[in-house]
Amino acid sequence: MTLAEKILAAHSDKKSLSPGDFINVRPDLILSNDITAPIAIKEFRKLGVKKVLDPGKIVMVPDHFVPNKDIASAEQAKMLREFAQEQGIIYFECGQMGIEHVLLHEQGLALPGDVIIGADSHTCTYGALGAFATGMGSTDIATAMATGEIWMKVPPTMRFVYHGKPGKWVGGKDLILYTIGRIGVDGALYAAMEFTGEAIDNLSMDGRFTMSNMAIEAGGKAGMFRADGKTLEYVSTRAKRPYTVHELGPESECASVTEYDISKLEPQVAAPHLPSNVKPVSALSGVKIDQVVIGSCTNGRLEDLRLAASVIKGHKVAPYVRCIVIPGSQQVYLDAMAEGIVETFIRSGCAFSTPTCGPCLGGHMGILAAGERAVSTTNRNFVGRMGSPKSEVYLANPAVAAASAVLGRIANPDEV
């Protein structure tokens, strides 16, 4: 079996599984946020169930409109808070929280071999740990909270093999953008994307989280890595419960195997208005910008902030350009302060924020006006994603974003 099939079989009491099989699966972690949890809570109430089946498996993280931007978002967050108190589930309050898909693995709640479901499309992030993680609707989450199970169709597996040594400014964001650019936003529709090869073996955990995070932008059901030595080192000091490592099956039957040589790959940029509209950074170097966002569940980890700070240090943000930097969690914020990264950004003229998803979904903390362009390390650049439907969003890695902030146009970090 493939890695996805092995994990799903272990959570459904099946000896073997094949793509297309329908199964009932017991998730290890059930996640929702301040946008999706209120719907799940209302649906849970409709079931007539008084208590969740296992409060230790349920996590609610207010992160999209937190700190609350208006009365409506305050009411959403209040509903989470009250439900968490009532049910005794795992809950992260504003000030202790972070962006959910940075926080959960950082806190040792997501682990190798897990099945993780979340009412958020970027739940696939945890596949970087060797877990099967996928997004679902809020009604599915309500049912899982009540019964401890969800039903699922076993996805086919598409294997992507990356050869070569990437260049200085090329990381996980560039590999996944390049892949999406080649296969399209529906190129892996309802498939488990399995990432492997020597370039992947050398990729950091933060880079792997970025790649898994954006599997959904190719239509993927999950984005998965094998749990290797780097993974086990990462979870060894974080894990709060036992976990099982499932090995990658080299002889397993995949729906497809695609190989890339990334040794000469430039940093990649997704131009408006699709994550698949990908071009090398050199092809977009004349595009002037108004805003840069560095952060999100895609690139808000410490390695991302380090990379951006190394580019922007000693420079100033270009006149009439806004650069907004948002750490993915309070721990990332603390670590960035300890390393002097926060000071670097502030001295360069950046706005540095508490953890929030705000600008990524056009919620708050960085909305675009009509006619404005942004370079963002986030994961989507659909029409109106970050504000006005007449604005434009270009997706890039943190180094490209930082260089663009300095020069006021899309730029290769080497230019800075």
What the chain holds in terms of domains, given with CATH numbers, is 3-260 (3.30.499.10), 268-415 (3.30.499.10)
How much is the pLDDT for 253?
Answer: 83
371-411 pLDDT per residue, tens: 999 999 999 999 999 999 999 999 999 999 999 999 999 99
* Strand 291-294 to 322-325 pairing: parallel
Q: From CA 212, how far away is CA 225, in angstroms rounded?
A: 8
Mean pLDDT calculated for residue range 223-245: 95
237-276 pLDDT per residue, tens: 999 899 999 987 666 789 999 999 999 999 999 999 999 9
Write out the two tokens for 14.
């099946």
Amino acid at 329: S
Say whether pLDDT at 97 is over 90: no
**126 within 8 A of 110, measured Cβ to Cβ:** yes
Residue environment code for 358-370, b if the CB has 16+ CB neighbours within 10 A, otherwise e: bbbebbbbbebee
Residue 207: count other Cβ atoms within 10 Å of its Cβ: 26
49-74 pLDDT per residue, tens: 999 999 999 999 999 999 999 999 99
pLDDT band of residue 114 (cuts 50, 70, 90) is very high
Percentage of the chain exceeding pLDDT 70: 99
Say whether pLDDT at 75 is over 80: yes
Q: DSSP label at 122?
A: G
Q: From CA 296, how far away is CA 179, in angstroms rounded?
A: 20
User: Distance between terminal CA atoms of the chain?
Assistant: 48
Write out the two tokens for 147.
């019964």
Contact residues for 314 (Cβ-Cβ < 8 A; gap 6+): none
**228 within 8 A of 204, measured Cβ to Cβ:** no
Rg of the chain (C-alpha set): 20
Alpha carbons within 13 angstroms on the beta-carbon side of residue 262 total 33
* Strand 392-395 to 373-376 pairing: parallel
**289 within 8 A of 273, measured Cβ to Cβ:** no
**Prior bond to 112 cis, omega within 30?**
no
Tell whether pTM > 0.85: yes
Q: From CA 189, how far away is CA 382, in angstroms rounded?
A: 18
Using the structure block, give the residue that is written with the tokens 């086990």. 232
Write out the two tokens for 97.
């929280």
Contact residues for 411 (Cβ-Cβ < 8 A; gap 6+): 281, 285, 400, 403, 404
Say whether pLDDT at 174 is over 80: yes
The dihedral over CA atoms of 56, 58, 64, 69, expressed in degrees to the nearest 10, equals: -70
Write out the two tokens for 103.
């926080």
Q: From CA 214, how far away is CA 362, in angstroms rounded?
A: 18
**102 within 8 A of 332, measured Cβ to Cβ:** yes
How much is the pLDDT for 208?
Answer: 98
Using the structure block, give the residue that is written with the tokens 């301040």. 34
**101 within 8 A of 125, measured Cβ to Cβ:** yes
Q: What's the angle, vertex CA 274, arms to CA 169 and CA 164, rounded to 5?
A: 30
How much is the pLDDT for 247?
Answer: 87
**What is the per-residue DSSP string for 308-337?**
HHHHHTT--PPTT-EEEE--SBHHHHHHHH
Q: From CA 172, how far away is CA 395, in angstroms rounded?
A: 13
Q: From CA 214, how far away is CA 57, in angstroms rounded?
A: 24
Mean pLDDT calculated for residue range 331-340: 97
How much is the pLDDT for 135?
Answer: 97
Residue 343: count other Cβ atoms within 10 Å of its Cβ: 14
The dihedral over CA atoms of 10, 205, 274, 297, expressed in degrees to the nearest 10, equals: 90
Q: From CA 219, how far away is CA 192, in angstroms rounded?
A: 10
Sign of the CA dihedral 33, 39, 42, 46? Answer: negative
